[in-house]
């Protein structure tokens, strides 16, 4: 059985993430979307909130589950018998960091293969941070994030009546 992890901050999940998750789910028997809780990265949403938002979008994918870790991805993969890590690549700017991470993970856990999926042309410009900026400044983000993430962003970032 081929099990893979799709790790990220998902703060919050965007349509770009969901595109990668759906395509990865079609490639592996089981896919764990892994919310990484990196203390160095200040997030708007708690890990539990980020998990709930992703879960609200992947209910139709029976081989996908959502989890979180505050440890090493390579260690999580070893602990859960996952041999693949799937990452989306938006542009050359992603490549340097992702390549470095893939090589580090390979040393930490030689069983792991990192698979890069090219971002789809209609979401390759999307990032969670850009979505947060758009919502905070009153812009329309409905084409960039799923409805539950949009509502959560508005609840966090806009003054409530």
CA dihedral 153, 91, 59, 130 (to 10 degrees): 0
Contact 123, 15 (CB under 8 A): yes
- Catalytic member of 36, 68, 123, 128: 128
CB 128 within 8 A of CB 25: no
Instruction: Assign 3-state DSSP to the chain and report helix, strand, coil percentages, each to 5.
Output: 40, 20, 40
In three-state secondary structure terms, 114 is strand
From the candidates 50, 87, 90, 132, give the one annotated as an active-site residue: 90
What minimum distance in Å lies between the beta carbon of 135 and ligand ADP? 14
The answer to the question of residue 94 lying near ligand ADP (CB under 6 A) is: yes
Q: Give the one residue of 68, 69, 76, 87 binding ligand ADP; rule: CB under 6 A.
A: 87
- Between 30 and 33, name the residue whose CB sits nearer to ligand ADP: 33
* Per-residue mark of binding to ligand ADP, 43-82 (x: CB under 6 A): ----------------------------------------
Residue ranges in 98-157 that form contacts with ligand ADP under rule CB under 6 A? 119, 123-124, 126-129
**Helix/strand/coil for 51:** helix
What SS3 class is residue 98?
A: helix
Task: List interacting residues with ligand ADP (CB under 6 A).
Answer: 8-11, 14, 16-17, 20, 87-88, 90, 94, 119, 123-124, 126-129
């Amino acid at each position: 059985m081929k099990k893979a992890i799709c790790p990220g901050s998902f703060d919050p999940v965007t349509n770009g993430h969901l595109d990668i998750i759906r395509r990865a789910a079609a490639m592996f028997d089981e896919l764990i979307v892994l919310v990484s809780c990196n203390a160095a990265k200040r997030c708007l949403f708690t890990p539990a909130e980020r998990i709930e938002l992703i879960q609200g979008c992947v209910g139709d994918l029976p081989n996908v589950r959502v989890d979180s870790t505050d440890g090493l991805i390579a260690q999580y993969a070893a602990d859960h018998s996952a041999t693949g890590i799937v990452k989306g690549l938006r542009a050359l700017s992603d490549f340097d960091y992702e390549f470095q991470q893939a090589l580090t993970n390979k040393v930490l856990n030689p069983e792991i293969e990192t698979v890069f999926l090219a971002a789809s042309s209609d979401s390759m410009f999307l990032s969670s941070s850009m979505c947060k900026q758009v919502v905070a400044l009153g812009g329309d983000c409905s084409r960039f994030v799923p409805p539950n993430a949009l509502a959560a962003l508005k609840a966090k970032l806009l003054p409530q009546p």
